[in-house]
Amino acid sequence: MHWAKKWHPECFTCTHCRKPFGNSEFYLEDSFPYCEKDWNDLFTTKCVSCGYPIAAGDRWVEALNQNYHSNCFRCTVCHNNLEGQSFFAKGGRPYCKAHAR
């Protein structure tokens, strides 16, 4: 197999945390291998509200230089969804019109 040319099995470890993969899955990024957890942490876009990755098919909103799932982009006070609404930013968090003051 291709990897045997580059790595001994015991040296075939995650580029980031250095744990061996064993039988678990890994991901390649720039031809470096990463475990699933680190790959998610390092290379996926995450929603700042819920902390989960934003998948390719997910609807999301970019606001305040951060990324949110559409469902997670809510007023900090009343949690009304703000997607497509006018909102106000205070301290890097979104607020609806009523709670902006």
**Where on the chain is the footprint of Zn ion (CB under 5 A)?**
14, 16-17, 35, 38, 47, 49-50, 69, 72, 75, 77-78, 96, 99
Query: How many other CB atoms are there within 10 angstroms of residue 46's CB atom?
Result: 16
Least separation, in Å, of the C-beta of 58 and Zn ion? 9
Classify the C-alpha dihedral 87-88-92-94 as positive or negative. Answer: negative
31/33 Cα distance (integer angstroms) = 6
Least separation, in Å, of the C-beta of 24 and Zn ion? 10
Q: Of 50 and 55, which CB lies nearer to Zn ion in the complex structure?
A: 50
Least separation, in Å, of the C-beta of 14 and Zn ion? 3
Do 52 and 71 form a contact (C-beta atoms < 8 A)? no
79/90 Cα distance (integer angstroms) = 15
Q: Of 93 and 99, which CB lies nearer to Zn ion in the complex structure?
A: 99
Q: Of 6 and 52, which CB lies nearer to Zn ion in the complex structure?
A: 52
Q: Of 17 and 55, which CB lies nearer to Zn ion in the complex structure?
A: 17
Least separation, in Å, of the C-beta of 11 and Zn ion? 14
Roughly how many angstroms between the first and final C-alpha of the chain, as a whole number? 62
